[in-house]
Structure 1
Amino acid sequence: MNVFITGASGFVGSHLVKALSADKAVKRIYALYRNEDQIAFLPKVNPVIGDLEKLPEIDLDVPIDLVIHLAGYFRNESKKLCEKVNLQGTKNTIAFCRNNGIKRILFYSTINVDLKTKGNYATTKLMAEEEVRKSGLEYMIVRPALIYEGRKGSLGKIIRYVEKLPFVPVFGDGNAKEQPIHIDEIVNLTVAMIKDFKPGTVLYAAGKEAMTFREMINIIARTMNKKAKILTIPAKPVHAVLRLFEKAGIHIGISSEQVAHMSEDLAADMNETLKLYPVELKSFEENIRRER
């Protein structure tokens, strides 16, 4: 099997490239990198230097069985960048598939599309999902929850707050549900999907259990033999102010969608996913303790 991966240097992409490099079912991995410094020098990896904007112009002279479209933009609420990367980037990936005779695409969306108050990230991802559906390609859409590993990403920030601060700030009352999934689990799930592709399915990728932010923070504290204090911050006024800033092109390190994410339930029904792909999911506490 030959696969092509966008977002190969990202958090999920770098782990996935490593896993596929060691998998006997995969013959070649064509990984899209913006520059040579990002290349993973691993067996089977064939780097392709380029970006989503010029992706339709890339002509591969080898058959590709599947494109895994991981590339996305979420760091702030820039409408222009979200539209360019998440929406137009997906359109360009579809064009690349058509130009190279590739029939299958595995598209990474986000659980944030379920938010009641979507920001530009969730909105453009939902629009990109529709582009994939109507593309004429055989597709699978994956909606991952918060992905974590050690002290990386959003969860890593919470872990550092528990470690160093007398309290952990939380937008909302702390009772919104989250269902984070460890990077190893989502990589295993993705590899299973690649090997047993189910066209036309939309699946969630979330952890073993849903928990409130209060519960999640208390679990993290317990693994450190500490007690965590939570400082609740009203979500609605902060969200409204951030939306005004974002419309004015001002970004201060946290987006309105991140506030919505912390103050709305984002639990997932994993029954269908695990029925199709019975990968092992460990408890959040077990994963956190394993990495300490």
Structure 2
Amino acid sequence: MADAIVTGPLSFTGKYLTKLLIESGKSVAGFTNDVSRANPFPGRLDLVRYSFDNVDSMATAMRGARTFYNTYWIRYPRGEMTYERAVQNSIALFSAAKLAGVQRIVHTSIANPSADSPFGYYRGKAGVELALVASGIPHSILRPTVFFGKEDILINNIAWLARHSPLFLVAGNGNYRIQPIAVEDYAALMNEHGERDEASITCDAVGPETYPFVDLVELIKKEIGSRARIVRVPQRIFYLASLLMAPLVRDTVVTWDEVRGLMANLLISNESPMGRTSLKTWLSDNAGTVGVEYHSERSRHYGEGRVSA
């Protein structure tokens, strides 16, 4: 039996959280789609395959754990996997946790979710939150925006493009804002909420700095020494350019919902920041490595694509 259950212990946020839990002396079991992947914590992390159609089986894996840390979600629909399906899979995980007697769930949502959102990603996230509340299990719902860290996707790939292209396209005027949080700060926040005994809570999880997107790109350029020229274009032209780039990196560079969500200022918060790490300082400290390689979403989650230098 494990003390804690983590979804995606081999992924980005899940891996940082798993490391913290193990370092604190906890035994950890983690749900993953592929138990054959290399385990960075051999002998300390038990890998369990998701079985969304068998709640009893997942409950057996969870039994004895005090806390369930849920990061499960999909970035975009793929084949039969839709946002609606991801909501149902999340409900199965919550049902398994309740059956197993889990005492608290720490759930990763997204800033500004809404059941009425025009964006499927945000509607789905709102649906999962409602399902968790309905489960009756004491919980913390944490709402991050965008993560940065050594293996992140967005910040790294902005830097990669700025290193490799003479032009950097920005959708619209670029004045919409973004408030990223360091993955280490977020993992620590999840860990802290997992130890709580008080009533359920929902809160945003963002970093201390907010940037207009175009200023964020300028900051990244400055720190890595890029001379790429920023060119503002209509959002549809920007998205078309990302589709043309996709075959070159064998990845989904950005989705239409992500473009519109960013431009709608959904990646910021009005709450006090929970993260402490400065993105500017982090970029300065990691200027020699950030963006040197392209970080592929498909490679990370589906075993496709590549990480390009």
TM over 0.5, shorter chain: yes
State the match for 1:291 in structure 2. Answer: 286
**Is 1:130 aligned with 2:125?**
no
Q: 1:114, CA displacement in angstroms? A: 6.2
Q: 1:79, CA displacement in angstroms? A: 8.5
State the match for 2:235 in structure 1. Answer: 235
Residues 179-225 of structure 1, C-alpha deviation per residue, up to 9 Å, x if partnerless? 11121111122122222355321111111111111110111111123
RMSD between aligned residues: 2.9
CA change 1:61–1:119 in 2 (3 A) is closer
Residues 36-70 of structure 1, C-alpha deviation per residue, up to 9 Å, x if partnerless? 22334345322223344434433148421111111
State the match for 1:69 in structure 2. Answer: 70
State the match for 2:303 in structure 1. Answer: none
Q: 1:283, CA displacement in angstroms? A: 1.6
State the match for 2:223 in structure 1. Answer: 223
Q: What amino acid maps onto 2:33 in structure 1? A: R
CA change 1:191–1:234 in 2 (3 A) is same
Q: What amino acid maps onto 2:168 in structure 1? A: V
In structure 1, list runs of 5 or more residues that go unmatched: 243-250
State the match for 1:245 in structure 2. Answer: none
Q: 1:92, CA displacement in angstroms? A: 0.3
CA change 1:62–1:134 in 2 (3 A) is closer
State the match for 1:31 in structure 2. Answer: 30
Alpha-carbon separation, structure 1, partners of 2:223 and 2:151: 14
Q: What amino acid maps onto 2:166 in structure 1? A: P
Alpha-carbon separation, structure 2, partners of 1:68 and 1:133: 15
Q: 1:100, CA displacement in angstroms? A: 1.0
Is the deviation greater in 180-189 or in 56-65? 56-65
**Is 1:207 aligned with 2:202?**
no
State the match for 2:120 in structure 1. Answer: 120
TM-score (norm 1): 0.83
CA change 1:47–1:160 in 2 (3 A) is same
Q: What amino acid maps onto 2:184 in structure 1? A: D
The total of aligned residue pairs comes to 274
State the match for 1:255 in structure 2. Answer: 255
Alpha-carbon separation, structure 1, partners of 2:166 and 2:237: 24
Superposed counterparts of 1:1-292, under 5 Å: 2-24=3-25, 26=26, 28-38=27-37, 39-42=39-42, 44-58=44-58, 59-60=60-61, 62-76=63-77, 80-85=81-86, 87-111=87-111, 113=113, 118-150=118-150, 152-235=152-235, 254-265=254-265, 266-271=267-272, 274=274, 281-292=276-287
In structure 2, list runs of 5 or more residues that go unmatched: 243-250, 288-309
Q: 1:109, CA displacement in angstroms? A: 0.8
Alpha-carbon separation, structure 2, partners of 1:137 and 1:68: 13
Alpha-carbon separation, structure 1, partners of 2:115 and 2:256: 12
Q: What amino acid maps onto 1:105 in structure 2? A: I
| 1:218–1:227 CA contact under 8 A, matched in 2 | no
| 1:151–1:160 CA contact under 8 A, matched in 2 | no
Q: Secondary structure at the residue paired with 2:113?
A: helix
Q: Secondary structure at the residue paired with 2:269?
A: coil
Residues 89-140 of structure 1, C-alpha deviation per residue, up to 9 Å, x if partnerless? 1110111012212232111111252698542221111111111111111111
Percent of counterpart pairs with the same letter?
Answer: 16
Is the deviation greater in 190-199 or in 91-100? 190-199
TM-score (norm 2): 0.79
